Amino acid sequence: MSPLRPPIASMAGYVPGFQPPDIASWIKLNTNENPYPPSPKVKEAILAELGDDAALLRTYPSASSEKLRQAAAELYGFDPSWIIMANGSDEVLNNLIRACAGEGEEIAYVHPSYSYYATLAEIQGAKVRTFGLTEDFRIADFPERYSGKLFFLTTPNSPLGFAFPLAYVEELATRCDGLLVVDEAYADFNDCNALDLVRRYPNVVVTRTLSKSYALAGMRLGLAIARPEIIAALDKIRDHYNLDRLAQAACVAALQDQDYFKKRCEQVVATRQFFVTELQSLGYAVLESAGNFVFASPPDRNGRRVYDGLYARKILVRHFSDPLLSHGLRISIGTREEIEQTLSALRDIG
Amino acid sequence: MNLCNLEALVPQYVRQFEAYIPSPPDDELQQMFGCSRLIRMNNNENPLGPPPAAAAFLQSFDPALVSRYPSGDCRPLRARLADYLGVTPSQVILGNGANEVIAFVIKAFCQQGDNIVTADRTFAVYEWIARFSGVDARLAPLNDFGFDEEGLLARVDSRTKLVFICNPNNPTGTWWSRDRLIRFMERLGPNHIVVLDEAYAEFMDQPDYPDGISLLSRFPNLIIFRTFSKMYALAGLRIGYLVGTEQVTDIVRKTAIVYSVNTLAQSAALAALGDQTFITATRSLVQEGQQMLAAQCAELKLPILTSDCNFAMIKLPFSDTLAYRLLMQQGYMVRTMTGFRFPGWIRVSIAGREAMQGFCTALSRLVHSRTDQSPLAKVYGVF
């Protein structure tokens, strides 16, 4: 084999999380998926796209994702030129890095949040800086002016669930020389979002995903909202056929069925409130959550013990070995029934 | 508040890169050109539509499936592909179309100052991704419409990480035989990765066309690209993959974007793979279409490059953009080749029999209208 020394040789790479092969027989609360199916309009739209013989699939999809952009533009109140559609928000996060951070240039994110920013930056050869959190959930030691190319701010935060106050996000925007990327993967479960900051600050980008609130994790759909000149830069380096035909059909149908969407989000939020109260009555320390999950620590602060107990009962949740997080668990909000079963398992485990 | 300074934010090699402009949707094109229906012969799509098993799976899919994440690394599909291709699952990496796989490989091996080497008239995306990644793309002119071994080798230096060989080549349909590929690999040596893009491999029915995968044990620096977009008629679902030795795929996996192939695409590809009845039907349809085109071009005395692939290139005695416009008016969309450094040529994808007959007639009318000197034709044209 050749003595190639790729710049990524030292990288660990990203390993997808373990999934039990018989996943259908598990209660799966580990990846913040929506416990409900997507809007019935999604299936209708996919079947319509397929037609009698799926013949349309032989042809390339729309390269401009025009209908999706239009639907998102109407929903969020922007001109379509402010919107780019992506193969999951991961794609647009990746393209933000590709478009803005050259080799050796710096990007930053908050730890703990979504570590995939770091993986994507390493692939690009960019430098990665992490900022910690203070006890009252502000960014620790954030400079008066941050000169890195991109600062990724996940709000609501995963895995902790808190959301930064908008005024604080706004302040961070004024302190970033580069782009402030507000990753709002969970914003639909919160009562506010940063969309207005996109209008008011030229360096604010908001990213969204349809994986969580729209129950379309399997279709890989995300988007970013930013000034047209930023969108244009992202547009030219994306793969021109980045979204397949069925994903495009699903996206339009999901975004347009707001009644279904709101009903399901309300259900998830109601189950979350119920779960938090019940966990607290079991003596768990629970952070207030603005997402479709909670971060909770058992009284003995031994997250691993409870993870194992749940695992033995075929309930899959998320435990992080990071010392900052190992005392607790991140548990996605399932159906009311799944959460009740989880609570009874937790009582059993003690 | 100042407008943020994009000049400072975006590296020069991204700013210089020009966006790809996709063609407008069919209804707009029809209005633009005044044709009542449009047959796309510009994207090398398989006219038969996907294999029946893929269609059947999709038509009965369970919506609850799509609220869950797909397999992040396409595990079931990789296992099936590995079995089908005679490799291990870890030797296969899937992407959201082969385009994404190209990016994985360039990101894995190249940093700024490195270069890739390929032909000047081949699939353009190798060059595009290299350029917007700040990597130099060195282009060797085709020789007699085929990849030129000497020209490629002359451009390889110590900073060359990747050599892209499109075999058979899009758009010319030319291909290297097994012996020729082996000779090139031996002359190049082991210090560079060779990407063998076999997007059209399943169309090839020639005894000495090389199966790159069978050469991996001899040349561990080979990477093979394949796609479900062409033979398997799933262009609409975006599924491509690469196969390499484990040493190579262990590196490329680090730059591969996980979860990029959606659930329905993974399952449809799995259902489609290896349908020999479908492959045979497609091959005979393509063969028939190529013969029709060749006969028509012979009659019109137009040079044509035919092959086993589902496209052919035709040289016209006038501008290809003019030909595009006049064929569009008759409802046939071809690819102009000036932008691909072949002025005066068009690339035509093989469509179904009826469409091919219609296209041959349209081509004939077009050529006669441009070359017929009779005063009547000049006055009235034929359209």
Residue B212 in any domain: the answer is: yes
Residue B8 in any domain: the answer is: no
- Co-location of B248 and B320 in the same domain: no
pLDDT digits 0-9 by tens, A270-326: 999 999 999 999 999 999 999 999 999 999 999 999 999 999 999 999 999 999 999
* CATH number (domain holding residue B219): 3.40.640.10
> How is domain A40-257 classified at the architecture level of CATH?
3-Layer(aba) Sandwich (3.40)
Q: Assess whether pLDDT exceeds 80 at residue B379.
A: no
Contact B116, B161 (CB under 8 A): yes
Residue A178 touches chain B, beta carbons under 8 Å: yes
Q: Assess whether pLDDT exceeds 80 at residue B5.
A: no
pLDDT band at B1; cut points 50, 70, 90: very low
pLDDT above 90: percentage of residues in chain B: 87
Q: Which among B265, B195, B280 has a CA at the least distance from the CA of B235?
A: B265
pLDDT given for residue B4 in this prediction? 62
- Co-location of B39 and B61 in the same domain: no
Residues 157-186 of B with CB under 8 A from A: 161
Q: Which among A178, A180, A150 has a CA at the least distance from the CA of A164?
A: A180
Residue B7 in any domain: the answer is: no
pLDDT digits 0-9 by tens, A68-92: 999 999 999 999 999 999 999 999 9
Residue B72 touches chain A, beta carbons under 8 Å: yes
Q: Which helix (H) or strand (E) holds B360?
A: helix B353-371
- Co-location of B137 and B180 in the same domain: yes
**Residue ending a domain, choose from B221, B237, B272:** B272
Residue B1 in any domain: the answer is: no
pLDDT given for residue B11 in this prediction? 84
**Residue ending a domain, choose from B214, B245, B272:** B272
- Residue length of chain A: 350
Interface test with B, best of A244, A248, A265, A332 (most B CBs within 10 A): A244
How far lies A284's CA from each of A281, A338, A343, in Å?
7, 18, 11
Give Cβ neighbours of residue A322 (< 8 Å, ≥ 6 apart).
A112
Gyration radius of chain B over CA positions: 22
Kindly state the tokens that stand for A242: 């980045």
Write the DSSP assignment of A222-249 as a string of letters: EEEE--HHHHHHHHHHS-TT-S-HHHHH
pLDDT band at B371; cut points 50, 70, 90: confident
Q: Range of B364's domain?
A: 20-44+276-380
Q: What is the ipTM of this complex?
A: 0.94
Cβ-based contacts of B246 with chain A (< 8 Å): none
Residues 263-282 of B with CB under 8 A from A: 263-265, 268
CATH 3.40.640.10 boundaries in chain A: 40-257
Instruction: Give the E-state strand segments of chain B in sequence order.
Output: 39-40, 92-95, 115-119, 136-140, 160-166, 193-197, 222-227, 240-244, 304-305, 311-315, 332-333, 335-336, 345-349
Residue B255 touches chain A, beta carbons under 8 Å: yes
Phi/psi of residue A6, nearest 5 degrees: -65, 150
pLDDT band at B375; cut points 50, 70, 90: low
pLDDT given for residue B378 in this prediction? 52
pLDDT digits 0-9 by tens, A149-187: 999 999 999 999 999 999 999 999 999 999 999 999 999
* CATH number (domain holding residue B314): 3.90.1150.10
Residue B2 in any domain: the answer is: no
Contact A309, A301 (CB under 8 A): no
Q: Tell me which residue in B59, B258, B260 faces A54 most closely, judged by beta carbons.
A: B59
Q: Assess whether pLDDT exceeds 70 at residue B3.
A: no
| Mean pLDDT value across chain B | 94
Q: What is the mean pLDDT of residues A200-227?
A: 98
Q: Assess whether pLDDT exceeds 60 at residue B376.
A: no
Interchain CB distance below 8 Å, A88 and B260: yes
- Co-location of B175 and B256 in the same domain: yes
pLDDT given for residue A5 in this prediction? 45
CATH number given to A23-30+259-349: 3.90.1150.10
Q: What is the mean pLDDT of residues A116-132?
A: 95
pLDDT given for residue A1 in this prediction? 41
Give the number of A-B residue pairs with CB atoms closer than 8 Å. Answer: 252
pLDDT digits 0-9 by tens, B115-161: 999 999 999 999 999 998 999 999 999 999 999 999 999 999 999 99
Q: Assess whether pLDDT exceeds 90 at residue B19.
A: no
Residue B71 touches chain A, beta carbons under 8 Å: yes
- Co-location of B329 and B351 in the same domain: yes
pLDDT given for residue A9 in this prediction? 67
CA distance A247 to A91: 14
Give the distance from residue B219's alpha carbon to the nearest chain A alpha carbon, in angstroms: 8
Q: Assess whether pLDDT exceeds 90 at residue A21.
A: no
- Co-location of B125 and B220 in the same domain: yes
Residue B294 in any domain: the answer is: yes
pLDDT given for residue B381 in this prediction? 47
pLDDT given for residue B120 in this prediction? 96
Residue B244 in any domain: the answer is: yes
Residue A240 touches chain B, beta carbons under 8 Å: yes
pLDDT given for residue A293 in this prediction? 98
pLDDT band at A8; cut points 50, 70, 90: low
Residue B260 touches chain A, beta carbons under 8 Å: yes
Number of compact structural domains in chain B: 2
Q: Tell me which residue in B48, B61, B191 faces A3 most closely, judged by beta carbons.
A: B191
pLDDT digits 0-9 by tens, A331-340: 999 999 999 9
- Co-location of B164 and B214 in the same domain: yes
Q: Decide which of B5 and B264 is more confident.
A: B264
CA distance B221 to B189: 9
Interface test with A, best of B68, B73, B223, B310 (most A CBs within 10 A): B68
Q: Tell me which residue in B111, B112, B236 faces A57 most closely, judged by beta carbons.
A: B236
